[in-house]
Amino acid sequence: MSDGPERGGDEARSGDSAAESGDTAANLAARRGVDDAVVYQPAEDSGLLAEAAVEVAHGRVLEVGTGSGWVAARVAAERDLDVVGSDLNPHAARQAGDRGVEGVVADLCTPFRADAFDTVCFNPPYLPTDPDNEWDDWMEHALSGGESGRELIEPFLADVGRVLAPGGVVLLLVSSLTGYDEVLALVDDAGFDHEVVVEESFPFETLTVLRLDPRE
């Protein structure tokens, strides 16, 4: 990653798509070094989410889809905060624990009580995947966002407000591959205001971390 985000993401967002770039889900996974793994390892998107979380996170923190726990561990270390990392993949929860983060096997926010967290971070699986080319393994769960790329974003947004304490904030990473405007529409429908915390453009996508605040 560069030292700072490259702005001008509107142009990249409007033109990016998996088809236009010629990148398949497998190509993008390989670029991130996760093609033969069972747990998602730190990559460009992880670094961007960590940068935003170190700046914004406060109170008790939940990282949904924690993968190896790298982002959660960095937030805990640099901000001295109590951080929980959750993941559907038990191997990921175990790796997060190995990094000193409390790792919980969980489907999104489902098992957590209301008002439990002041900050919730999520780097969702967002690669658009043809149903006929699903991988049916742990890396699919970590990378595939279904046919639209937004399959996990919608249920996350529908429930995350429940686990936010008063004054809580959500940090959501969005890839241009999922349709930036479509994600903003889901954010609005879920009752959140949004602002860009950090953004960076790459040859094959633009990554943006949004700060979401529950609408009054």
Residue 152 lies in a domain: yes
CATH assignment of the domain containing 170: 3.40.50.150
Q: What backbone torsions phi and psi does residue 172 show, to the nearest 5 degrees? A: -120, 125
Confidence of residue 42 (pLDDT cuts 50, 70, 90): confident
Reply yes or no on whether the pLDDT at 140 is more than 60.
no
Give the separation between CA 7 and CA 197, rounded to whole angstroms: 11
pLDDT at 35: 43
Mean pLDDT of 80-105: 94
Rounded distance between C-alpha atoms, residue 110 and residue 68, angstroms: 20
Domain assignment of residue 172, yes or no = yes
What per-residue confidence (pLDDT) applies to 129? 67
Q: Is residue 1 part of a domain?
A: no
Q: Which residue blocks in 23-145 are alpha helix, DSSP H?
A: 25-31, 44-56, 70-79, 90-98, 138-143
Q: What does the alpha-carbon distance between residue 92 and residue 99 come to, in Å, rounded to a whole number? A: 11
- What confidence tens digit (pLDDT) does each residue in 167-193 have? 999 999 999 989 999 999 999 999 999
Give the domain range for residue 15: 9-214
129 is a domain residue: yes
Q: Calculate the average pLDDT of the chain.
A: 82
Q: Tell whether 21 is covered by a domain.
A: yes
**Residue at 28 is within a domain:** yes
| Domains contained in the chain, number | 1
Inside any domain, residue 4? no
User: Rg of the Cα trace of the chain?
Assistant: 16
- On whether the CB atoms of residues 140 and 91 are closer than 8 A, the answer is no
Top mean pLDDT of 2-11, 125-134, 146-155, 177-186 is at 177-186
